[in-house]
Amino acid sequence: MTTNVRTRFAPSPTGFLHIGGARTTLYSWLFARRHGGKFVLRIEDTDEVRSTDESVTAILDSISWLGLDWDEGPVNGHADKGPFAPYFQMKRVETYRKHLQQLMDAGKAYKCYCTKEELDEMRRVAQLEKRPPRYDGRCRALTDSARVALEAAGKKFAIRFKMPVEGATIVDDEIRGKVSFENKLLQDLVIWKTTDGPTYNFCCVIDDHLMEISHVIRGDEHLSNTPSQIQMYEALGWKPPVFAHLSMIMGPDGSKLSKRHGATSVLEYRDLGYLPHTMRNYLALLGWSTTDSQQLFTDEDLIAKFDLAGCQKSPATFDTVKLQWMNGEYIRQMPVEDMVKLAMPFLEKAGLAGLPGPDFKKTVALEQEKFKLLSEIPALVEFFYKPVQFTPKAMDKVLKAPGVKPVLLDLVEALKDFAPFEDKALEVRIRKFCEEKALKVGQVFHPLRAAVTGRTEGPTLFLMLEIMGREQVLARLKDAAALLS
């Protein structure tokens, strides 16, 4: 077992938690739990323009809904728990300022006075000359007198980290192996902004070291930042953590996953009616697998089997068809009491909660084999609680067929005193009714279903009648017959 494991998820609160971030959270959580370590949640809010409290709340809600508990990090909004608090970067600015000064004193960082227009022009020229659009280092060798003159003229400055210009920086990645970056192709990153605040690339190095993070598991879009971050660790005299960069997540068409492929945020999947367990299981398989290609896992299974060795380099494909199949599998396995509890927000939104009618445990269990999403439940059970709404097919193809009205009225007579009003007994009685009236079962069963539900399809007929109850069944048979007048 790897010892003293500490992982982290460090989102920027500039929007919702999306699928890629959710997978990173899950993998970091699984790795920490597998090795008996700690999982840290840190909010990287250095983008002061786009960071919002609403996004912080949405991210915390998303991770909580996924069932991924963090050992250290924000709780109750902007409060913190853990020995390395605060866990919001903008509350840690003085810590970063101290380490910035350390780099400046050691000649490892320098002031850059270039304006946005000058930087844009550098990029434009580099693109025309088919060179990487990178900072050309023009402020790197300014003399002290030149700096004094620029500042006297009111020039604002950012601070850049001084990268080596020769050799290569090796990223020893747990998933990708050794990845080499030529230093001459890497630019001097801004680590302190002209607005007198730190940047992400600088903060995450300081925080990961001070918070004793052992393993940084993150998306491969961060791989290009890693050589600069490794050089910062070395400049500060620190040992870098172990890095593991996860593969990209693609849509079914092979392009990067985006809104055109459907929902992208975790809370959207919650609102669509997916189970937290389904999302944990499915996200785990987006770029990781066991040697036997297991598909369905308990949480205990996932924790016991997850390892970085099973993570793939090639992009993973997000398949909503497979996700929905998996959700249906877990819904069918779920105790009905748990399913009703999880479905209650959807039942409430549909206006069914609190209406007179059968216990939800009975009506939901009746259709459990059909549900793929919790959000589908209200539409399939609402006829038990709301007045009958006849579909065109139920009315025009079934109820308006010749001879239906007397069948319905005769059923009222046959059932009004019949006991016990239970599924098996009801089936025997209604089949006998068919014989007595010399009718085919379809001439009775179909109008009966359409009259009491307004639909031509639905759950097993006789158990449905039992759950609905004699009074409701008879009233709906009479109402349907009256409509046929």
What residues are annotated to the active site?
Answer: 259
> Cα(482)–Cα(79) distance, rounded to whole angstroms?
63
> Cα(135)–Cα(119) distance, rounded to whole angstroms?
7
Question: Coil, strand, or helix at residue 112?
Answer: strand
Its sign, for the CA torsion 26, 27, 33, 38, is negative
Task: Please give the single-letter amino acid code of residue 253.
Answer: D
Of 412, 415, 419, the residue nearest 477 (C-alpha): 412
One DSSP character per residue, 198-217 reads B-HHHHHHHHHHHTT--EEE
> Cα(359)–Cα(382) distance, rounded to whole angstroms?
12
- From residue 11, how far is each of 59, 204, 257 by CA, in Å? 8, 11, 18
Half-sphere exposure of 452 (CA within 13 A, CB side): 29
The side-by-side arrangement of strands in the sheet containing 190-192 is 109-112, 158-161, 190-192
Q: H or E element: which one contains 9?
A: strand 6-9
> Cα(471)–Cα(479) distance, rounded to whole angstroms?
12
> Cα(275)–Cα(328) distance, rounded to whole angstroms?
9
β-strands 177-182, 249-250 pairing:
unpaired
Apex CA 113: angle with CA 110 and CA 115, to 5°?
A: 140
Its sign, for the CA torsion 314, 315, 321, 325, is positive
Tell me the β-bridge partners of 172. Answer: 178
Query: What's 266-295 look like in SS3?
Result: HHHHHHHCCCHHHHHHHHHCCCECCCCCCC
> Cα(109)–Cα(93) distance, rounded to whole angstroms?
17
Q: H or E element: which one contains 161?
A: strand 158-161
Q: At what angle do helices 441-453 and 470-483 cross, to 10 degrees?
A: 100
